[in-house]
């Protein structure tokens, strides 16, 4: 690693997930509106940040339909 580049700007591949309730599932997504209210996400939200490059992502709506998000005309979308 180049010592002239501050560590906060170095890209690294990481596996990111949190253990779910009683270790039975894996949590990897939180709503920004409630992340600080959830014990599972509070410390990471306050002290660790991550940017994920993606081509697209989706979320389910209340009608159990996929809403797909992407940047029109761009190959990468940065998710925080």
The residue extents of the domains of the chain are 16-49, 50-80
């580049």: which residue's tokens?
5
- Express each pLDDT in 10-38 by its tens digit: 777 777 666 666 667 777 677 777 778 87
Residues 49-77 have pLDDT tens digits of 777 788 988 888 999 999 999 888 988 88
Task: Give the DSSP letter string of 16-36.
Answer: --EE-GGGSSEE----TTTGG
**19 near 26, Cβ under 8 Å?**
yes
* Nearest alpha-carbon partner for 12 in 52, 54, 45: 52
Chain position carrying tokens 């190959």: 75
pLDDT confidence of residue 3: 61
């Amino acid at each position: 690693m180049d010592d002239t580049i501050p560590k906060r700007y170095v890209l690294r591949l990481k596996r990111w997930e949190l253990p779910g309730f009683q270790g039975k599932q894996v949590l990897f997504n939180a709503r920004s509106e409630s992340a600080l209210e959830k014990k599972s996400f509070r410390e990471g939200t306050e002290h660790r940040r991550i940017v994920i490059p993606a081509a697209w992502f989706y979320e389910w709506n209340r009608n159990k339909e996929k809403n797909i998000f992407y940047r029109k005309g761009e190959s990468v979308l940065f998710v925080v």
